[in-house]
Every structure is written in C-alpha cells, then in structure tokens.
Chains A and B, each alone.
Chain A
Amino acid sequence: MSDTIEKAPSSGGAQKVSQINEVVIRIAGNSQDGIQAIGGFLARLAGRSEQEVMTFMTIPATISGGASIFQVRMGSGEVLSSGDEADVLLAFYQHSYDAHLASLKKGGIVLYDSDHVVPNEDLKKTYHHLGIPISGLTVEAIGGTAKDKGKNIFALGLIAKMFDLNMPKLEKLIGERFTGKDPSILNNALAAFHAGHANPLGNVLETFKFVDAQKKDGHQVVMNGNEAIGYGLIAAGVRFGAGYPITPWTDIMELLRRELPKYGGCFIQTEDEIAAISMAIGGSYAGRVAVTGSSGPGISLKTEALGWAIMAEMPLVIIDVQRGGPSTGMPTNIEQSDLNIAVNGGHGDAPRVVIAPANVEDCFYMAIEAVNIARKYSVPVILLTDQGIATRIEAFVEPNLEKVCQDISPDFTPIADHKPYDLSNANGISHHVPPGTKINSGKYPIVTGLEHDELGHPTGSPKLHMQMTAKRRKKLQALAATLPVPKIYGPSEGNVLLVGWGSTEGPIKEAVDRARAAGDSVSSIHLKHINPLPNGLENIFSGFNHVLVVEMNDEGLYGFGQFGAILRARYCDPKIQGINKTDGLTWKVKEILERTKTNLSAGLRKI
C-alpha cells in the first residue's frame, strides 16, 4: 500500500478517507476458520473490480486445523508479487498475533480478535492496534449456536468497511458461495458480514479507498495455478489421464476427475505413480495426448516410464508441481529443486521438453502449449510449476474459450504405409499412428523402448542407435529454433541481469523496479522454455556485466543453482552466477535486492 496508510491524525474525530493504490492484507488463524475463504472473496472481488490481485497461502501440514495464513495483495495498478510486508494483519489468535506481527510493516494496522489476543503493550507504538471482539460479536450477530463459524465473514465485513469495498459485489459473491445450501446458512453469513461492516472500527482514524483501476480489455477470471492447469488441459482437448494423490499436485487430479466426464473423458486414480504414467502413456498411445502428474517423490517414480516415452516417441504431458525435497521433504513448501530431474531425470540420453509457467495465466496457456508440443514433436513435455504458483490466486483476462478450445481427436483414416521411427526427416520429427488405423501395406508399427529400426523392430546396430539417438535430439533442436527469445524487462544493456524461471517472475520484476528507482542498473529476463532453451540468449547476456540466476534451490556443490548450472554449461560464461535460497518460502523483493548487492563484490554501478 502507498505510504498513506501511515496513521494520519484526523480532523474532528471523523475517520479520514485516504486514496490508495494497493494493499497487502495478511490473514492469520487456523485453517478451519475459513481463512482461505476470506482471501478468496477478496481475490475474486479484485478480479471483478478489474483490479490486479495476487495471493499467497500456506497449507497447514496437519490434516485439519493448524496455523495457516492467507495473504492477499490487491491493487489498481500492476501487482507483481504477493508483497514483502503486510499493511494490515488480521490475527484471530494469540499465536497468529505473535507469529505474524513481524510481517506487518512499521505503522501498519493489526486488527485482532480481542476475545483471543492479548496485545503486547510495547508494540503498540510500532503498529497501530485495533482490537475487536470478533468471536463475541459474531455470536451476537448470528446467534450462539454457530460457535466459531462465521467469524471469517464478520472479519470480511470489517475489511470491507476499512477499505470501502464494493458491498453489492461482495454480497453477491457470498450469495454465490452459499447457494444451494440451507438458506439459513446464507442468512447467517450475510448477518455476520453486515455486522462486521457496521462496526465503527474503534479507534481507527482512517479508512481507505482504492483509486479506480485502469479499464481492462475484457472480464477477468480469478483462479489459482492448479485450476488454471486443469482447465488449460481441458481447453487443449485432453480427455484422459491418470494420477496418484500427492500434495500439491492432487488438486489438479481432483479437478480433472470431476470435470472430464462432462467432456466424455475420464481421469483415473491409479495404484501408484508408475501405474499413473503408464496408463497415461497407454492413453496417448491409444490416440489422444494424455496427462499425468505428481510432486516430489512421485516424480522420481515416473522416470523409468518417462524414459520409455522418450524412446518410443510417445506424446505425453507430465505436470510436476514442485515442493521441497528430496524424499518426502517439505510437502507444503515451495522449492524449485526438480529442475534437474525434469531436464535430465532417468537413465540414458533422454531428451524431453520442459516448460515452466511464470504466473497463473501462463498455467492455462502453457498447459495448451505443452499438449501441442507433445503432439507436434511426439515427445513427453514436462510442465514444471511449484507449490507457490499452484495455490496462488491471480486474476487474468478471461480467455476467449471458443477460440482457445481445441479438438485433438485422433484421426483413424487408413494410411498406405507407416514408419513410426521414420528417419527421412532431417529435423527428426515423426508421428504416432494410433491403433485403430488400418495400414494398407499390412505392415504394422510396434512402439518400443528397445533401440529399434524405423518400423520399431529391435536392433543392436551401432549405426541405428546413433541415428535414432540423434533423431530424438534433433527434434528438440528443431523446437528450440521456433521458441521466442524472452523479452528483457528493463534496458537491454546494463550492469546486472537477473534471470528467473517459474513462479519467481513477480518478485524479480519488482526487484528490478525498486533497484532502478534507486538508480541501480538492473534488468531481468524470465525463461519459460527450459529444455530446450530458446536460441539467442547469449546476445542478451552480452549486454550485461553480471548475469545472476535467481532460484529457489541450493547453490550446489560448485556454487550454482540448478538452472544456473545449465546456463553455465550451455554458455561457458563465467559471469553467470547464482542467487539461491532454500528456506521453502517465496522470494521477498528485498531479499533479491540484498542478495544481488552482496553477490556483486564490486557493488552496483549507478546508471
């Protein structure tokens, strides 16, 4: 939020209304309190108000209950990250207050449930304290039976009051959320909401109003990364897949299981991840690109079958929602440490495609891109996301579904002849012909993981192994030639180029903005095509003295993160260095800036 949130003395005791561009609200409590629901309402309201929004949440590691937070940043201008510091902290319990006050910026407002929280008197000077007996007032508003239910909606009313949010829109959202249920539930929710909104907000001297957002072309939709991938796959025409539950991938398989039947498809829950990828490959073999996915250890289990799909040249989409590893690792934390397994996992020379969305909108469109690359190049494509992007809610311009949705039904038209591993194309590309297709020559293809001749029959020929290995590589080189060179954020020449991939685009861009505002020469690029890389990156790197690869993974034995090491190997350029971290949390903008500074022994050259 702009500096105006700093407490300003009001004239004549009336609350002052300040115009703001954006705000970061952190809601802290237990997961069963419906914290995600408040965040979700705010995010969707922002989407409907043509505002930008980004959220961040922690999934409690325990099954039910457990401390949980939801942070939402909404604003009239561009919102790049979920925010380093909160402007407002809503604390439901003592532990929420104690653990999260440090995330509040100095002078920020802590709104706490005075039925549960005893504030620290010493901190009252640093943060503006506003205690409201949220639990008690909620019970008062909706009757004593509901115990703790409804206090999230009461708190939403408080926030609506504080930020002068659009009441009819929020009421509509609440109505939509509680439709179909017992009408008394909706009535209670609305009662709690209005009671919250009617609260005089005690000693708060100032309320806020967003400046009008720029008109967006078209409506916005609001969803998280996992949902965007699920719906992207459906739009891409995927109608079959298989998976095994594991956080944070599970949401995608649940969505597909639930949604695909509407389109005549199905998603199968298998006995394990090996069966899941095998079944998906079987589905692809049967004629229509299928999907599987996992997180953490489940990805390790899939590697043998992935190698088969590469060898047999089967199209396939594999979603990897990264989490902290290795092994069971940090299931609900964020990490970008699967890049190596995505790019190289498995035995043998096994080139596959790896692409990584940078935001929720990308998740939707890149799911479609993954399907199309898989089909065109007959190759497995790994869509690499992470826990952060999976659960983060963002608003983006609604896709034109009529245009975007594609039909990839298999074609069973009889053909004269077919070689599944045709070597005649210089670019190595050949196509899969599914069973059901009559081949008039009477010679039918076998797809196989053994090294093979052009018809798929096993061979021990050194020459064929060389040719086929090159074929599998060449098609990725052909793909590389078609990939767009990433746009540089900031000037194309300067001192420092930050390089990112995956979910870190927002904080990196914001770091560039802040550095440049402070007079430092920093630009960034963000790579979405990881393997193969687009051509021409060397021309970008040559414009900078330092190329720093910002990643959420370990610096490795030799001092470079996983992507950093790939770029160093690819470009043999010693100015490529890494900025890495393994705390399981998203990058804060200030962390990136501090680490950039310490990384450059010479310090930043002023523009």
Chain B
Amino acid sequence: MSETLLAKPVVSTTTPPTEERKGLTKKEVAADHPTWCPGCGDFSVLALYFKLIEKRKMWHEKITTIAGIGCSSRFPYFVQAHGAHYIHGRALPFASGISLSRPDLHVFVFGGDGDAFSIGGNHFTHTARKNIKMTYCVMDNWVYGLTKKQTSPTSPLGFKSKTDIWGAVDYPINPLKQAIAAGATFVARTTHTNPNHVLQMMEAAMDHDGFSFIECLSECVEFYEGAFDSSNPRKGGVFNEVPKSHDVTDELAAYKLAGTDFPGHFGIFYKNSKPTKNAREAEIIKSYQSKTAGLKDWQILQKNFDKMK
C-alpha cells in the first residue's frame, strides 16, 4: 500500500532530525524588494509575516505563500520560500489543493478585498464552510489598487472611484459577517497600523486547526489615503479591541459585533473548533485503507479488474 497522501510525506534531509535548526532571520526570509508604493500598508503585513516565520521557527521549505492577483497579492515574490502567484480570485482553491494533499506544510494565503470578495467570493464561502486548513489574510484597502482606483466590494457608500466618480452606490460587503455566515472557524480583524496586534492575530490564526481568516486593514496611500484614520490613535482615531466579555464561540454575538460601525473592533470575533476537511478526508482514507491493509496498489486495483472480467 502506498503511503497515505494525507499523512506526512517522508522527507529525506541532509540535516539530521535531531539537530535543532535555528529560526530564519529576516534576511534569510526576505526576497525581492517589494514593488509597493512607499507608505503602502502592505509593507507592515509583510514585515509581520517575516516576524511570524522568525518567531515560530518555520523553515523555508515548510512554508507555502500563495496569492491571487492584486497589489497585495504580489506578496509571494517578496518572501524567500516556496510560493505561487496564481490567478485573480482563485488563490483559495489552489491553496486547498496544497493543504489537502500536504499536511506537513503551512499554507498561507494573502490577497486583496477584490480578489477575496468579488471575483473570489464563491471560493471564500466554500473554503470557509469546508473548513480547509490554512490561514487567509485579506489585506483590505477598500479599493482596487493594482488596477488604479476602481470601486471594490468593501468600498463604503460614497467613495469616489474611477468607476463611481459620483461616489460608490453599491452597499459594501462586511468581510467578517461574510466569513461567520459562511462557517469560517476563525475570524479576526486587525490593522496594519498596530504591528503587535497583527502578529498576535497571525499567530492565533496559524495555530488554529482549520480555515482561519484575518481581515487586515491595509491602507492604499495611493488611491484611498486616510481610509482608516479613525481606527488609528496616531491619527486621532480609536483602536477598540474586541471586548473582553465577548464569547468568541458565540456566533450570533460575533455577527452582531462585526456589524459595529467603523472603526468597529479589532481582535478575534469568532473561533470554534470543528473537524477540518483535511481530518474528515483522512478519516475516510483510514477506514478504506484498513480494508486493503497489506495490499500493494496494483493488488487493490486488481480486485476491481477481477470484477470486470
């Protein structure tokens, strides 16, 4: 019988397994210099991802950084690790293919609000409901950055973009509500202006066994300057954490909290533990394989062929 697809693959390595490998330094994990505009919020998200890798002693070969298309989605080029820059809106199913076949890898997906909630909206819903293990960080700037200032599904009413010169007329999506309603098992919100908080959310998301979603406000200084000022104490705004009294397993309370007017709250809104799709598929495999224990693959196939004679 072949090794289980969902079990850890045997990795031969020149490093003896007993040797403690040191965590990577920022230098080792940084690749191309980011092409973002100076001051773009995405820089801090990247810096904190580096911090996460460093702090949690992840190794190059165990990280996969996946993204769709957008300014924020250029993320993988800037990380020195295995990664893929996929197509607009479809990063989640791509990442699911990795997650479901390689339990030994950390799968991180980064992208923008258009990528996640417009063209990729359906994938967001289904990846969340299936609870496929990965961390998805949406860098929400309320605008289409890469294509230069069109209305995004999170643009607030009245936002003057090139496709709504008179101000946005469509009601925006609330990413947190979307995630909770879809069945995501970890839903958090943070903002690039609070680095410690970003790192805290990333760590919690990474440690969650399931689909973990972070909405990270990330300002587009080029096309939506000042969008999040009222959430930034340095700009005279307020950074309200999720109240201590909030029960993160209470779906309705989380949904309600997510509806608070901007700047709303930051922190973990919802967290629940239920079996991941990864675990469920592994269970199916286990039960099937118990029936074919000791047989080579060709012998299992032979049984089918014997029935077709």
Contact = CB atoms under 8 A, between A and B. Distances in A.
B123 A436 contact: no
Given A240-B5, A264-B2, A409-B9, A285 B87 contact: no
B137 to A, nearest CB: 18
A264 B59 contact: no
Contacts, number: 228
Given A438-B61, A444-B83, A266 B5 contact: yes
B31 to A, nearest CB: 7
A272 B122 contact: yes
Contacts of B86: 278, 281, 308, 449
Contacts of A446: 31, 76-77, 83-85
Nearest to B60: A444
B90 A305 contact: yes
A271 B28 CA distance: 38
Given A287-B102, A305-B90, A444-B80, A407 B298 contact: no
Contacts of B100: 240, 266, 268, 279, 283
A439 B77 CA distance: 16
B7 interface: yes
A234 interface: yes
A263 B87 CA distance: 31
A401 B301 CA distance: 8
B64 interface: yes
A52 to B, nearest CB: 15
A537 B11 CA distance: 46
A444 B90 contact: no
Contacts of A450: 85
A483 B49 CA distance: 48
A414 B14 contact: yes
B102 A436 contact: yes
Interface string B271-309: 000000000010011011101100011111110110111
B257 interface: no
Given A270-B93, A444-B31, A449 B85 contact: yes
Given A261-B285, A308-B86, A435-B102, A279 B122 contact: no
B97 interface: yes
Contact of B298 (A240, A402, A409): A402
Nearest to A314: B84
A266 B102 CA distance: 12
Q: Which of A242, A290, A402, A438 has the most CB of B within 10 A?
A: A438
B139 to A, nearest CB: 18
A304 interface: yes
Contact of B90 (A275, A399, A437, A439): A275
Contacts of B97: 240, 242, 278-286, 290
A288 B291 CA distance: 24
A48 interface: yes
Contact of A263 (B14, B61, B82, B297): B297
A308 B122 CA distance: 20
Contact of B60 (A274, A286, A442): A442
Contacts of B82: 434-437, 444-445
Nearest to B65: A446
Interface stretch (A215-223, A330-338, A423-431, A567-575): A215-223
B13 interface: yes
A442 B28 contact: yes
Q: Which of B2, B28, B84, B302 has the most CB of A within 10 A?
A: B84
B4 interface: yes
B2 A401 contact: no
Nearest to A220: B309
A418 B57 CA distance: 23
B12 A413 contact: yes
A544 B291 CA distance: 58
Given A262-B292, A279-B94, A234 B81 contact: no
Interface string A382-412: 0000000000000000110110110101101
Interface string B159-196: 00000000000000000000000000000000000000
A115 interface: no
B94 A271 contact: no
Contacts of B10: 412
A262 B291 contact: yes
Q: Which of A223, A410, A447 has the most CB of B within 10 A?
A: A447
B104 A436 contact: yes
A47 interface: yes
B32 interface: yes
Contacts of A405: 296-298, 301
Nearest to A414: B14
B96 interface: yes
A404 to B, nearest CB: 8
A264 B289 contact: yes
A261 B80 CA distance: 34
Interface in B14-44: 14-15, 28, 31-32
A546 to B, nearest CB: 41
A263 B85 contact: no
Q: Which of A262, A274, A290, A308 has the most CB of B within 10 A?
A: A262
Contacts of A282: 66, 93-99, 101
Contact of B2 (A284, A308, A409, A440): A409
Contacts of B61: 412, 414, 435-439, 444
Nearest to B305: A221
A448 interface: yes
Given A239-B2, A286-B101, A281 B301 contact: no
B248 interface: no
A281 B126 contact: no
A267 to B, nearest CB: 10
A605 interface: no
B104 to A, nearest CB: 6
Contact of A44 (B87, B98, B104, B308): B308
A443 interface: yes
Nearest to A255: B304
Contact of A278 (B90, B102, B104): B90
Given A282-B66, A444-B61, 6 more contacts: A231-B304, A259-B304, A279-B100, A412-B10, A435-B61, A435-B102
12 contacts: A48-B309, A222-B308, A231-B304, A263-B2, A279-B100, A281-B86, A401-B305, A405-B298, A412-B11, A436-B105, A444-B61, A457-B77
- In the A-B complex, the 7 residue pairs with the closest CB atoms: A282-B97, A435-B82, A278-B93, A261-B288, A264-B4, A275-B93, A405-B298
